[in-house]
Amino acid sequence: MAHISRDVFKRVIACDPYLIDGDFPVYVERADLAGVFSQADVVSLHTPLNAETKGMVEGSVLKLMRPGSYLVNTSRGAVVKIDDLLRQVDDGILAGAALDVLPQEPVADKRLLGHPKIILTPHAAFFSVQAEAELRRKAAQNIVSWIKTGRPDYVVVPGTRRLSV
């Protein structure tokens, strides 16, 4: 993202407390989380979801953003507290947000659907050769398990459209 952004924006700043300085490209300025949110016109999230990052982007962090700025989340939905994000967008602090992931999918929070300042996109990172091979392997494994035990390993629960193990 930094490589793409450097040609679009004057500055690229990033926060990753687990990378040493030498791991950042030379054109990326290092900042802490508050520094990124207070200085950037666009904040793009690329973090795993764990106990440390769950709900990390909440009201006090979002309030640091400059008026007219944008938030993009392509990492994990639960990193952002949606109520706080909507408040900042509706109050005019953020110009908008683009969400490729949500805390609950399909969309549970109907305020997001059709919101004029929020773009929702399908999280399609699973479209890869590796993901397709894994999908085929699991489908074949389901058939084998069903024949052996009478129950597949990967069950689709009716009405939820979710995969459960």
Q: Which of 11, 66, 105, 132 is catalytic?
A: 105
For the question of residue 11 being annotated catalytic, the response is no
Q: Annotated catalytic, 58?
A: no
In angstroms, the CA 23 to CA 56 distance is 23
57, 36, 63, 88 alpha-carbon torsion, rounded to 10°: -70
To the query of whether residue 105 is one of the catalytic residues in this protein, the response is yes
The H-or-E segment that residue 95 falls in is: strand 94-99
- Amino acid making up residue 38: S
| Residues annotated as catalytic (active site), given as ranges | 76, 105, 123
